[in-house]
Amino acid sequence: MAYSTALPPHKLILGIDPGTQVMGYGLIEVTGAKVQVLQFGVIHLKSYSNHAIKLKKIFDRMIQLIDEYLPDELAIESPFYGTNVQSMLKLGRAQGVAIAAALSRDIPYVEYAPKKIKQSITGNGNASKEQVAAMLMQILKIQEVPKLLDATDALGVALCHHYQKGNNAKQGGKSWKSFLTDNPDRLAGK
């Protein structure tokens, strides 16, 4: 009996627009050529002055989303380079915590540069947040623009990943059992 190696006809992609003040998330369901929005929104972090608490809130909400929707893959925007080093470090930590939450549930992830996301959604790597949101409203048939465009940015990350066919997903979250199965020669005493 021959088995098909085609991509699964059904996939859930969780997109993340990382931030330390507001973090956007968007979840899309892909069935064949049809793409549907399941959920999108933001995690409000401005009210927390302690950076460690913000990171904990990001991790906790990511775990809630993952456990509720069981996404197949995580797509996340990579940090852009800025002049404020402290802001970049904090943003990188926020991104790392979101990735760690996915890896803790064995969900593969991929990062996309902001220009790559904008290019894949609008055809212009220098598009504004408003242009990305307007295009996503048309593509995904969203009725109302959210107040914070971090949510539509996250949907853009997920849709960009779908357009890339998920070819860049990294499975960094292998379990210890999987590692031992794949590397029997590494067991102590063998």
Q: Which residues participate in catalysis according to the annotation?
A: 17, 77, 150
Residue 67 is assigned to a ligand binding site: no
Which residues are bridge partners to 75 per DSSP?
15, 110
Q: Which two tokens stand for residue 182?
A: 């794949």
The DSSP 8-state label assigned to residue 142 in this structure reads: -
Residue 34: CB atoms within 10 A of its CB come to: 9
Residue 77 is assigned to a ligand binding site: yes
- Distance between CA 3 and CA 177 in Å, rounded? 26
Is the distance from CB of 132 to CB of 121 less than 8 angstroms?
A: yes
Residue 150 is assigned to a ligand binding site: yes
Element (H, E) at 23: strand 22-31
Binding site listing: 17, 77, 150
Binding site listing for Mg(2+): 17, 77, 150
